[in-house]
Amino acid sequence: MLLGCALMAGIAATNTAMIWLIGEPVDLLNKGQYDAVRDILFVFAIVVTLNQALHLGTAALRGWLELRFIGRVREAMLARCLMASSPAVDRHQQGDLLARLSGDVDRTARLVVDTPLIFASHVFIFIFYAGMLVWIDLKLSLIALAISPVFLLHQRYFGHRKQRISQHFLAKLGKLLSFESETLKNLRGISSFNAETRVAGMHHSAFHEARKWAMKDKLLSAWFNSSFSMLIYMSGLAIVLAAMYAMDHAGVTVGHLVSFLLYLGYISVPVRGVAELALECRQNAAAAERVTEILDIRPEVTQQSNAPPLHVSGGMIEFDQISFGYAEESPVLKSFSLQIAPGETVALAGPSGAGKSTLVKLLMRFYDPLQGTIRIDGTDIRNVAIASLRSQIAVVWQDPFLLNDTIRNNLLLAQPDAPEAALIAACKDSHAWEFITKLEHGLDTLIGADGTELSAGQRQRLSLAQAFLRDAPILLLDEASSALDSHAERMAVEALERLRKGRTTIIVAHRHSAIRTANRIAYFNGDGSVTVASHAHLIDTHPGYRAAAQWQTTAHK
C-alpha cells in the first residue's frame, strides 16, 4: 500500500509537469524561441513515458493487492463457516452466503484496497495542482477554494442516502440468489407439482424487489453525477470570467493562463473523484458489513484450550440426563439417559421431529445439551478436542457427502493417507468395487456435483466405503438405506452388517427392517420421553411402536 501511494505521488507529479509543459511553449512561441520549444517537447516526451510507466506499475500493484485480499477474505469466510459447523451457518440462506462470498467480498476489496490508493491519488493531484494554481495566481486560486464547501455539502447530502439504498439492495439481492439456488437444486420437484408457473412468478416478485432498489441506486447515482457536473461547470464559468479579468488587469501571460485553466479543469477530477469515492464507500461499506457478519460467526460449541485428544478403547457411550431443545421453551429431549455397551447396536426409532437425529448431532458436538453429560468410555466429550472426537466416529448419512471430484479423492476424505490397497478393500467391503471396475477410469472417475453421475445406490455404497476406510470404533447410521430400492438396499444391508462388527453402532431409521436386528431400540415418543427395550419387548408392551411396525409390515406385503 505504501509503494502504491508512492507511485500515485509520482503520477501526480508527472501529471503536473505535463500540464506545465503544455502551457510553457505558448509563451516561447510568442517570443520566437523555437529551439527552446523543441527542448520543452523533448522533456515532455520523457515525462509522458515516465508517467505511463508509473500508471502501468500502479495498475499491476493494485490488481495484485486486490486479488490477494479477495483470496484471503474468501478463504477466511469459508474457514469460518467450516469451523462454526452447520447450526451457526444455517441461519444464512445458501444463496445469500454465495452473494457474500463473491460480490460482497469484491466490493469490500474495493473499499479496503482501491479506496485508499485512489484517495491518495486524488489528494496528491489536488495538492500539486492547487500549489501550481496558487503559484500562477493567488487571487484566482482563492476564488476556486471559496467554492469548495458547496461540493462537500453536495456529497454529504447524497452519501447517507446511498448507504441506506445499498443496504436494502444487497439484502434483496441475497434473497434473490438464495431463491434461484433453491430453484435450480429442486427442478424435478417443481416439475412434479406442475409448479413452474408459480415458481416463475415468485422469482419475478423477488427480482422485482431487487430491481426496485437497484433502480433507486442508479437514479441516485445519475442525480449525483448530473448535479455535480452542473456545479463543476458553473464554478468553472465563474473562475474563467475572473481569469479573463486577471489577464487584462494583472498582467497574466497567455501561456500561464492556459496552464491555470488546465490545472483548474483537471483539479475538478480529484474533487469529483473524492466525492464519488465517498459515495461508493457508502455502498461498499454495506457490503463489508455483510462480510464481517460471516467472519464474526461464532460456533455453537467451543473447545477448551489445550483440550486433550479422545482415546477410545471400548466405545461405551453414555447419555446421562440429557435435556435439549433448539428453543428452550420447546424441549426435544427431557432427561434422556441411555448407556450403550462397547460393540452394541442401538436403534433410534420414533416419529419425525422426536429427537433421533438431534441425539446424533449432540454426540457429534454440533450442539451441546442444555443439561446433562455425554461420555465416551467415561470421558465427557466436552473435555476433549472436537476434531479427535469426530475422528473416532464414522457416519453414513442419508444423503452421502460427495464432492465434484474423482471417486478416489472422495474416498480419501475419510482417510487422507490411505494406501491404494485400503481403498480397494473398503470398496469391496461396501460392494462399491462391483460398479467401479466397470467404469472406464475406475477410481479416477469424476462423479459430478453431489455424485450426480452415479445412482442413489452407488452413492450410498461409496458412503459406506468411506466409513469402512475411516475404521472408527463408533458408527452412526442416519437413515442410511431409506432412499434405496430393494436390490440396492439388500447390498447396503449386507455391507452394513460387516461394518457393524466390533463397533458400537447407533442406527437412526424409520424402516422396521433396518432396526429389528439391533440389540436394543430407543423409541422416541414425541413428547421428550424415550422408551428403551428390545424389539420383542416393544412389540408386546408399546402401542406406538407396535402400530408403526404392523403398518410397515402390512404396507410392504
In the numeric block, which cell numbers belong to residue 139? 487571487
How far from 128 is each of 1, 11, 23, 293, CA to CA, in Å? 21, 11, 16, 41
477 has a pLDDT exceeding 50:
yes
Amino acid identity at 419: P
* Residue 557 confidence (pLDDT): 46
- Contact between 331 and 525 (Cβ < 8 Å): no
333 has a pLDDT exceeding 60:
yes
* Residue 526 confidence (pLDDT): 74
**Region 437-448 average pLDDT:** 87
Burial of 519 (0-12, 13-18, 19+ CB in 10 A): middle
**Nearest-angstrom CA–CA distance, 122 and 48:** 19
Considering only CA atoms, which of 509, 515, 425, 514 is closest in space to residue 466? 425
Which one has a higher pLDDT value, 316 or 527?
Answer: 316
Phi and psi torsions of 477, nearest 5°: -120, 110
Which one has a higher pLDDT value, 63 or 157?
Answer: 63
What is the secondary structure of 289-358 as a DSSP string? HHHHHHHT---SS---TTPPPP--SS--EEEEEEEE-SBTTB-SEEEEEEEE-TT-EEEEESSTTSSHHH
Q: Across all residues in the chain, what is the average pLDDT?
A: 80
How far from 369 is each of 85, 326, 360, CA to CA, in Å? 16, 10, 12
* Residue 317 confidence (pLDDT): 93
* Residue 266 confidence (pLDDT): 65
Rg (CA), the chain: 35
**Nearest-angstrom CA–CA distance, 432 and 457:** 9
In the numeric block, which cell numbers belong to residue 281? 464507500
Burial of 219 (0-12, 13-18, 19+ CB in 10 A): exposed
Q: Model-level pTM greater than 0.75?
A: no
**Nearest-angstrom CA–CA distance, 420 and 235:** 77
* Residue 174 confidence (pLDDT): 77
34 has a pLDDT exceeding 70:
no
User: By mean pLDDT, which of 219-223, 384-388, 521-525 is the weakest?
Assistant: 219-223
* Residue 179 confidence (pLDDT): 79
User: By mean pLDDT, which of 325-329, 417-421, 430-434 is the weakest?
Assistant: 325-329
Q: How many CB atoms lie within 10 A of CB 3?
A: 11
Pairing mode of beta strands 520-524, 345-349: parallel
Fold topology of 2-295? ABC transporter transmembrane region fold (1.20.1560)
241 has a pLDDT exceeding 60:
yes
**Nearest-angstrom CA–CA distance, 299 and 491:** 38
* Residue 189 confidence (pLDDT): 63
* Residue 299 confidence (pLDDT): 76
- Contact between 1 and 121 (Cβ < 8 Å): no
* 30-34, 64-68, 163-167, 211-215: range with highest mean pLDDT: 64-68
Interval 105-145: pLDDT, tens: 888 998 999 889 988 888 888 888 778 777 776 776 676 66
**Nearest-angstrom CA–CA distance, 290 and 295:** 9
* Residue 61 confidence (pLDDT): 92
Considering only CA atoms, which of 26, 444, 442, 82 is closest in space to residue 254? 26
- In the numeric block, the cell 457490503 is attached to 287
What is the secondary structure of 44-91 as a DSSP string? HHHHHHHHHHHHHHHHHHHHHHHHHHHHHHHHHHHHHHHHHHHHHHTT
Which one has a higher pLDDT value, 221 or 322?
Answer: 322
Phi and psi torsions of 152, nearest 5°: -65, -45
**Nearest-angstrom CA–CA distance, 540 and 47:** 97
HSE at residue 380, side-chain half, CA atoms within 13 A, is: 12
What is the helix (H) or strand (E) element at residue 489, kind and residue range? helix 486-500
Which one has a higher pLDDT value, 448 or 308?
Answer: 308
What is the secondary structure of 407-474 as a DSSP string? HHHHHTTT-TT--HHHHHHHHHHTT-HHHHTTSTTGGG-B--GGGTTS-HHHHHHHHHHHHHHH--SE
* Residue 6 confidence (pLDDT): 93
HSE at residue 311, side-chain half, CA atoms within 13 A, is: 2
Band (86; pLDDT cuts 50, 70, 90): low
212 has a pLDDT exceeding 90:
no
**Region 471-498 average pLDDT:** 73
Band (261; pLDDT cuts 50, 70, 90): low
Sequence spans of domains, the chain:
2-295
Considering only CA atoms, which of 210, 109, 205, 202 is closest in space to residue 167? 210
**Region 484-502 average pLDDT:** 72
Interval 420-429: pLDDT, tens: 999 999 998 8
Amino acid identity at 352: S
7 has a pLDDT exceeding 90:
yes
**Cα angle vertex 287, ends 284, 293, to 5°?**
145
Band (262; pLDDT cuts 50, 70, 90): low
Q: Which sign does the torsion angle of CA 176, 177, 183, 184 carry?
A: positive
Burial of 93 (0-12, 13-18, 19+ CB in 10 A): middle
